[in-house]
Copies of this chain bind each other. A is one copy, B any other.
Amino acid sequence: MMREYLGEIYRLQSMPEGATTSLLAERLEVSPSAVVRMLRRLAEAKMLTHVPYKGVTLTPAGEREALKSIRRHRLLEVFLVKVMGFGWEEVHAESHGLQLTISEAFEDRMDAVCGYPTHCPHGDPIPTKDGRIAPTNDQPLTEVGVGASAVVRRVKTDDAGKLRYLAELGLVPGTPIRVVNRAPFNGPLRLQIGAGAKPAEHVIGTEIAQVVRVEVVK
């Protein structure tokens, strides 16, 4: 359990808001008080430093553990999609419990059975066994200029409905797109999705566009 908290702290640290008590509580679906107590225990275990009312910072040891948790989580997601046949919108919920009980041997088997994947179904990089993680270099679709071509890299949501919708549209990691048009005042985007002879054209709202991260192609 401690490791899962660390993983979530790591994820949140790389976001603008940082890893706050209430955000952690929300993501882990527990009460804030449960989070605070766990922070104390993790601080005692030298996994992080916690300055009350200020914030939290992972120690190097804490980061190592966090990356182990993230590796496990993302490998599990790949596994559930590629081997078990779950949809990419189902895996978040499904991983929740499994993550806590799989052994290291099982993790290694998943890795092998999936062909040593480098990214999870949503496009996030999977840390290596020795704790290295590939850097990401993408931006929200909302920030891409009209006319630009790009490739979808990551999809930053756990919402099953949004994920289903994105899959329908073909907005999955690896898909090439082009921003055809953007309505004013953060209006909806018109996108060309996919390559080849007949790329589809779709209009998506900003709530969806914010969630899709792309790498612009020169």
Cα(A100)–Cα(B98), bound, Å: 9
Q: Quick check: A98 and B102 within 8 Å, CB to CB? A: yes
Q: Is the CB of A83 within 8 A of B83?
A: yes
Chain B residue with the shortest CB-CB distance to A112? B85
Contact B94 A105 (CB under 8 A): yes
Q: Mark A93-131, 1 if CB is under 8 A from B, else 0.
A: 010011011110110011011000000000000000000
What size tier do the contact residues of chain A reach?
10 to 19
Question: For A101, what are the chain B residues with a Cβ–Cβ distance below 8 Å?
Answer: 97-98, 100-101
How many of these chains are in the complex?
2
- Give the chain B neighbours of A103 by CB distance below 8 A: 94, 97
**A28 vs B113: C-alpha distance when bound (angstroms):** 31
Asked if A84 CB lies within 8 Å of chain B CBs, one says yes
Look across to chain B and name the residue whose beta carbon is closest to the beta carbon of A109: B84
With beta carbons under 8 angstroms apart, the residue of B84, B98, B112 that contacts A113 is B84
Interface residues of A (CB under 8 A from B): 83-86, 90, 94, 97-98, 100-103, 105-106, 109-110, 112-113
* Sample (16) of A-B pairs whose CB atoms are under 8 Å apart: A84-B106, A84-B109, A85-B109, A85-B112, A85-B113, A86-B105, A86-B109, A90-B105, A94-B103, A94-B105, A94-B106, A97-B101, A97-B103, A98-B98, A98-B101, A101-B101
